[in-house]
Amino acid sequence: MVMALDEREVDAYSSLVGTFRGRRVGVLGDLVADGYVYGVPVRLSREAPVMILKHEREEFFPGGAANTVSNLLALGSGVVVFGMVGSDAAGQRIVEHLEGMGADVSGIVVSAGWRTIAKSRILAGDYHTKKQQVLRIDQEPGRGPTAEERAGFEERVKEALDRVDAWVVSDYGYQIATGPGVIGLVQAEAARGKVVVADSRYRVRDFRRITLVTPNEMELFGAYGIEQLPVEGASDDLVVETGRRLLEDLGSRGVLVTRGNRGMMLFEPDREPVSIPISGTSDIVDVSGAGDTVVSAATLALAGRSSLVAAARLSNVAAGVKVMKRGTVPVTASELLTAARNLVLNGGGPGKN
Give me the active site residues, please. Answer: 292
The C-alpha atoms of residue 53 and residue 124 are separated, in whole angstroms, by 7
206: nearest Cα among 231, 223, 229, 226: 223
CB 313 within 8 A of CB 2: no
Helices 180-191 and 147-159 cross at an angle (nearest 10°) of: 20
At residue 210, what is the residue type?
I
Q: In this structure, how many other beta carbons lie within 10 angstroms of the beta carbon of residue 337?
A: 18
Q: Where is 61: in which H helix or E strand?
A: strand 51-64
DSSP 108: E
CB 168 within 8 A of CB 151: no
The C-alpha atoms of residue 292 and residue 276 are separated, in whole angstroms, by 18
Angle, CA of 319, 322 and 328, to the nearest 5°: 120
The C-alpha atoms of residue 297 and residue 39 are separated, in whole angstroms, by 34
34's CB contacts (< 8 A; 6+ apart) are 60, 61, 62, 63, 64, 67, 118, 119, 121, 288, 327, 328
CB 41 within 8 A of CB 52: yes
